Amino acid sequence: MAEPTPVQIFRIEEKRKQYRSGSFFLKIGILALFVLVPFVFPSYKTVDLAMQIIMFATLVASFDILLGYTGILSFGHGMFFGIGAYCVAFLIGKYGMPSYLNLALGFVTAALTASALALLISFLSLRVKAIFFAMITLAIAELAIVLATGLSHFTGGEDGISLSMPGIFAVSFSIGDFMGLEITGSVLTYYFIFLSCLGLFLLMLRFTHSPLGRVLQAIRDNVQRAEALGYKTFIFQIISITFGCVVAAIIGGLYAMWVGYVNPASSLEVMAIMLNVLLMVIIGGMGTLYGGIVGAAFLLITQTFLPDLQNLAKDFFPQATLLHNVLERWLLLFGILFILVVIFFPKGVIGSVQDYISRRKTILLGKE
């Protein structure tokens, strides 16, 4: 293929700047949307939905570091989410008083526990490949659920642990109105979690765009070639798993702060957490990080509002019995939507968009 001329290079760079500019303003718009949610949509249902999208988008990104960037499938990632939630619940709920110190210690304990357990699992299980590693992590995750349920004197069992937030994060806290919005403990908790997840997301972006991240992608694409180049793939895989699991544990602690309650079903259940995370990764696109935002938004919005369509149909179309029966089975509609997304976006939404942009650049170069 002939080398591109200076004119071709200039036009391609101009197109690249346009794509970058559009991407930048889109990111700013998404950030502004989440910042303004409590002011524009102050209802608890909408704020809670936005909060869940923020937390699960960050959780999906931490899982994408394992699956999309390193090529490691783990069904135990949700377990670390639950570990983080329980660590915070223990320190400010069951075994400690609500205070800023105990809250900070809860997050530190979550990070240390997650890193130690991730290292142990990695050393014991990484020697096996692909699906066998996934099955081992699934078995460990199921064991964690059994322990959390059975050791009720320690974990609260199925009844779980209720916790109260300290100081400005308490539900009863209020500092008055600002631009028509009452600044309560829940609002301050929302912005604290939002900023924490934003910081974690930026940290993961830096991690994946560093030389270490490029080595992980090389391992994902071809382990034997990476080893031939002199990289100790086992060590890099351990770093990837540990980093992703620590981030998941911190997000679990933030989740406990928001809901004020932790039990095995909500924090450790494989089907309730890992299945959703896997669907979000597939919808958004593996190896993109930003795909987690799209996947979390699509999944959580449809799960929240599809059941409401039945009531709307009864109000506007009271005689449409067939429509009512279809909407009663909203999970079927969700399944159809998911199939359509997979068909039209085979690499996930973000992955397919990136692939389209890459093809456009190639076409542009060929036309010049």
Question: What mean pLDDT is reported for the chain?
Answer: 83
**Average pLDDT of 227-232?**
86
Cβ atoms of 261 and 164 within 8 Å: the answer is no
* For residue 105, pLDDT beyond 60: yes
What pLDDT is stored for residue 250 in this prediction? 96
In 3D, which of 52, 28, 44, 33 has the Cα closest to residue 187? 44
Q: Give 289-347 pLDDT, tens digit per residue.
A: 888 898 899 888 888 887 776 666 666 666 666 665 665 666 677 777 778 887 888 78
Q: How confident is the model at residue 72 (pLDDT cuts 50, 70, 90)?
A: confident
The whole-angstrom separation of Cα 132 and Cα 116 is 22
The whole-angstrom separation of Cα 311 and Cα 317 is 10
* For residue 274, pLDDT beyond 90: no
- 6-40 vs 185-208: helix crossing angle, rounded to 10: 160
* For residue 119, pLDDT beyond 70: yes
In 3D, which of 128, 113, 127, 54 has the Cα closest to residue 245? 113
162 - beta bridge partners?
261
Q: What's the token pair of residue 42?
A: 């102050």
- 291-305 vs 308-316: helix crossing angle, rounded to 10: 50
What percent of the chain is modeled with pLDDT above 90? 26
DSSP three-state, residue 182? strand
Q: Give 253-264 pLDDT, tens digit per residue.
A: 999 999 988 988
Stretch among 21-25, 180-184, 273-277, 344-348 having the lowest mean pLDDT = 21-25
Question: Under 8 Å CB-to-CB from 332, ≥6 apart: which residues?
Answer: 326
Q: How confident is the model at residue 183 (pLDDT cuts 50, 70, 90)?
A: confident
* For residue 1, pLDDT beyond 50: no
Cβ atoms of 292 and 284 within 8 Å: the answer is yes
What pLDDT is stored for residue 7 in this prediction? 55
Beta carbons within 10 angstroms of residue 245's beta carbon: 31
Q: Give 4-34 pLDDT, tens digit per residue.
A: 556 555 555 556 665 565 567 778 888 889 9
Boundaries of every domain in the chain: 1-40, 44-269
> What is the rounded end-to-end Cα distance, in angstroms, of the chain?
13
- The label of the residue with tokens 């600002």 reads 178
pTM for the predicted model, two decimal places? 0.88
Question: Under 8 Å CB-to-CB from 366, ≥6 apart: which residues?
Answer: none
Q: What's the token pair of residue 52?
A: 């869940």
**Average pLDDT of 275-296?**
88
Q: How confident is the model at residue 107 (pLDDT cuts 50, 70, 90)?
A: very high
The whole-angstrom separation of Cα 94 and Cα 327 is 42
* For residue 3, pLDDT beyond 80: no
Stretch among 161-165, 198-202, 307-311 having the lowest mean pLDDT = 307-311
* For residue 117, pLDDT beyond 50: yes
The whole-angstrom separation of Cα 11 and Cα 6 is 9
In 3D, which of 82, 140, 136, 139 has the Cα closest to residue 268? 82
What pLDDT is stored for residue 160 in this prediction? 85
Question: Under 8 Å CB-to-CB from 314, ≥6 apart: which residues?
Answer: 324
